[in-house]
Chains A and B, each alone.
Chain A
Amino acid sequence: MYAYTIRRVLIFIPMLIMLSIIVFGLAKAAPGDPFTGKILDPTVDPEVFEQQREALGLNDPIPVQYARWASAMATGDFGTSMYYKGKSVQSLIQERALNTIYLGLFSLAITILVAIPIGMYSARNPYSLLDYSATTFGFMGLAIPNFFFGLVAIYLLSIKLGWFPAQGTISGTEIGGWEEWKSRLHHMVLPGITLGLAGTASYMRYMRSEMLDVLKSDYIRTARAKGMGERNILYKQALRNAIIPIITLMGFEFGALLSGAIITEQVFNYPGIGTLFINSIMNRDYPVIMAITLLLGVAILIGNLLADIFYSLVDPRIRYD
């Protein structure tokens, strides 16, 4: 198990190198640099911009630029932002990362707490009213784009009814302690639900079909033949078997949440990694774009590793050695 984990982490290294080459290559392949596409001060001599490019190393051969960037990244130096003058990429990301992590965890919690119980209920009572409602909601959740649902939620629940704030992370008046957390949670409700919508819908469907399958299996019949009660059968015998494939999907969900956050955060003007990412793209702030893309890659790799580890904890047939 430990050996397996270490091996998996070691495999990360070549994967990350590949990923960094792709990220860097894409960034360089895109036309323009931080000085193009802007309304530049016409009184400044174009020669000055050229000097700046030279100073930033933008005119060096691409492999040289890659080597410089990659070796800096390897030592933990993410470079400096070209747009936010002089600010390090690291500090920019650090400021936003926690917000995104809170949002992701909150949304994941909603997904799990809603999808699994409803999925189980649907499997226990297929074709009941709640099952049909859940199915309808499930298909709607999958069909409605995140940003649209977010906009409708803002319009109805925030502007019309005024139940939840439409943007930001805190109101700003309650700083520190319990009050701040309450405000943060309050601000996370709409973006959290928006972000978790598609996941909730699909996990509900997965849970329902897994549970239906498991309840038909021979070992459930054995448990009934042993005289075990309904509660035991549902929560002990069936749940642990039905949850196994869900765990694998959760690993992917980790990455999906982060990339989903890019759009959701934009809709709710939520100051996280997502908004930073979009803004950096708009500003052609390559050091930030590349750092975030690489971080997303790492997050997805870690998510899959965690899923594999959980998998082996739940299913005794899976042993990594």
Chain B
Amino acid sequence: MKQKTILDVKQLQTYFYLEADRVAKAVDDITFSIHPGETVALVGESGSGKSMAALSIMQLIRKPGRIKQGSIRLEGKELLQLTNRQMAQIRGKDIAMIFQEPMTALNPVYTIGNQIGEILRKHQGLNRQQAKQEAINLLQTVGIPRATEIIHEHPHQLSGGMRQRVMIAMAIACKPKLLIADEPTTALDVTIQAQILDLLMQLKEQFHMSLLLITHDLGVVSEYADRVIVMYGGQMVEEAAVKELLQNPKHPYTDGLLASLPNMEEHAERLGTIRGTVPPAYAYPAGCRFSTRCPAVMDICHVKAPSLKQLTPEHQVRCHLYANGGDLS
């Protein structure tokens, strides 16, 4: 089954060269695709490498980080071979990104209209007047009332939810093919979170975008994603369609993430936790990177790193439990 894809990431490695002998493998050999109109969720704890994967796609990795190798193709076009200047033509136009912290993501000294307008002038060659009009339209599209006044205001005059709407307006300004949303609602009030996510979904339909949704919230995943990639220690540990993953999780880490969700029906006394913390990216344990925290750890896990196994055409997992492709759990 060969489908048309928007984004193809192959064997991407993003390393941070901290000191001469210390290398943080923030993203270590990930491969995935995103199809037109699809919502793919990238899930994992803090430090699992999901944000770094997204920033790698945008080529916004800061020193001492570097994309060591791999391939990132947008509609078949290799992005890693582009110059800085060529990549700047792609950013904001074909791939747009919104960030976790709307409070700090907007430039405090320029007006909203200026910040939305400059992307339109840059990528669509609009003049000031046209850009201003289009900025008003965009603000109305993302559901901001008083758009004609808001364009003259500065970020500090807006609430967090409003600022995130402004970020979304900037992201959709050039109707990108792919929108990357890095924890877009984590910093917002719970009541605003659903509004923002619903807005993202509605815009995704309206502008025929694909969405790469980065989150640690499996509740969000179950509601909005089509397909899920679970990341741990810079690697993909499981990938499946959302329903399959939620009902039939294979990797002990995915299990642990699901167990930590509150469940309306079961009234558990305590929510499940995964013991320990994510190891730093420069000091992964030998063998499987999850072995130090895994409840189902075996001897082989400390010795040999498991590889990604295809269980069904739409479900793959990185765990020795499924070494023979069978289901042992």
In the complex, are the beta carbons of B107 and A237 less than 8 A apart?
yes
Chain B residues positioned under 8 Å from A226 (CB to CB): 91-92, 96, 118-119, 122, 170
Closest 9 CB pairs of A and B: A227-B92, A227-B91, A226-B92, A218-B104, A219-B107, A316-B154, A225-B97, A227-B88, A226-B119
Contact A228 B118 (CB under 8 A): yes
The reply to whether A225 and B60 contact each other, CB–CB distance below 8 Å, is: yes
CB B268 to nearest CB in A, in angstroms, measures 37
Q: Is the CB of B107 within 8 A of A223?
A: yes
Picked from A225, A232, A241, the residue with its CB within 8 Å of the CB of B108 is A241
Compute how far the CA of A315 lies from the CA of B105 in the bound complex, rounded to whole angstroms.
Answer: 17
Could you say which of A216, A225, A241 contacts B92, with CB atoms under 8 Å apart?
A225
Q: Chain B residues near A217 (CB, 8 Å)? A: 104
User: A317 touching B156 by the CB < 8 A rule?
Assistant: yes
Considering the chains assembled together, what is the distance between the CA atoms of A314 and B62 in angstroms? Answer: 28
A46 to B13, CA, bound (A): 95
| B310 within 8 A of partner (CB) | no
User: Is B275's beta carbon under 8 Å from chain A?
Assistant: no
A225 to B123, CA, bound (A): 12
The closest CB in chain B to the CB of A241 belongs to B109
B131 within 8 A of A: no
- Asked whether any CB of chain A lies closer than 8 Å to the CB of B41, the reply is no
Residue A222 lies at the interface, judged by CB distance under 8 Å to chain B: yes
Q: Give the interface size bracket for B toward A.
A: 20 to 34
Q: Which residues of B contact A316 (CB under 8 A)?
A: 108-109, 111, 154, 156
| Contacts from B to A (Cβ < 8 Å) | 58, 60, 62, 84-85, 88-93, 96-97, 99, 101, 104-111, 118-119, 122-123, 154, 156, 167, 170
Q: Chain A residues with Cβ under 8 A from B96's Cβ?
A: 225-226
The distance from the CB of A135 to the nearest CB of chain B, in whole angstroms, is: 19
Q: Which of B88, B99, B109, B111 contacts A222 (CB 8 A)?
A: B99
Residues of A within 8 A of B84 (CB): 230
* B107, A227: Cβ atoms closer than 8 Å: no
* A68 sits at the interface (CB 8 A): no
A252 CB, min distance to chain B CBs, angstroms: 22
In the assembled complex, the CB of A234 is this many whole angstroms from the nearest CB of chain B, namely 13
Q: CB-defined interface of A216-250 with B at 8 Å, one 1/0 digit per residue?
A: 11110111111111101000110011001000000
Q: Are B88 and A229 in contact (CB under 8 A)?
A: yes
Q: How far is the CB of A285 from chain B (nearest CB, A)?
A: 49
Q: List 24 A-B contacts (CB under 8 A).
A: A218-B99, A221-B99, A221-B105, A223-B107, A224-B58, A225-B92, A226-B92, A226-B118, A226-B122, A227-B93, A227-B119, A227-B122, A228-B88, A228-B118, A228-B122, A229-B85, A229-B122, A232-B122, A236-B110, A241-B108, A314-B109, A315-B108, A316-B108, A317-B154
| Residue of A with least CB distance to B101 | A218
Q: Do A222 and B105 touch across chains, with their CB atoms under 8 A apart?
A: yes
CA distance A219 to B109 in the complex (A): 11
A227-B101 in contact given A222-B107, A315-B108, A316-B109 (Cβ < 8 Å): no
Alpha-carbon distance between A317 and B167 when the two chains are bound, in angstroms: 19
Query: In the complex, what residue of chain A is closest to B58 when comparing beta carbons?
Result: A225
Whole-angstrom distance between the Cβ of A216 and the nearest chain B Cβ: 8
- Cross-chain contact A222 with B106 (CB below 8 angstroms): yes
Cα A101 to Cα B57 in complex, Å, equals 55
Cα separation A230 to B88 with both chains bound (whole Å):
9
A317–B90 CB distance below 8 A: no
Known: A225-B58, A227-B88. A219 touches B119 (CB 8 A): no
Q: How far is the CA of A196 from the CA of B23 in the complex (A)?
A: 45
Given the complex of chains A and B, what is the CA–CA distance between A216 and B85 in angstroms?
20
**Please, what's the 1-or-0 string for A195-231, where 1 marks a CB less than 8 Å from any CB in chain B?**
0000000000000000000001111011111111110
What B residues does A227 contact at CB under 8 A? 88-93, 119, 122-123
Other than the given A224-B60, A228-B92, 10 more pairs (CB < 8 A) read: A217-B104, A219-B107, A224-B58, A225-B58, A225-B97, A226-B170, A227-B91, A227-B93, A229-B122, A240-B109
Contact of A241 among B85, B107, B118 (CB under 8 A): B107
A144 to chain B, nearest CB (A): 34
Residues of B within 8 A of A224 (CB): 58, 60, 88, 91
Which partner residue on chain A sits nearest B106 by CB separation?
Answer: A219
Q: CA separation between A244 and B108, bound complex, in Å?
A: 12
Contacts of B170 in A (CB 8 A): 222, 226
Residue of A nearest to B84 (CB): A230
Q: Is the CB of A315 within 8 A of B60?
A: no
Q: Which residue of A lies closest to B167 (CB)?
A: A222
B88 / chain A contacts, CB cutoff of 8 Å = 224, 227-229
Q: Is the CB of A219 within 8 A of B123?
A: no
Please give, as numbers and ranges, the residues of chain B lying within 8 Å of A317 by CB-CB distance. Answer: 108, 154, 156
B104 engages A219 (CB within 8 Å): yes
Closest to B153 in A: A316
Nearest CB of B to A178, in Å: 40
B176 to nearest A CB, angstroms? 10
Known: A219-B104, A314-B109. A225 touches B85 (CB 8 A): no
Distance, CA A112 to CA B235, complexed state (A): 49
Interchain nearest-CB distance for B163 vs A (Å): 11
A224–B87 alpha-carbon span in the complex (Å): 10
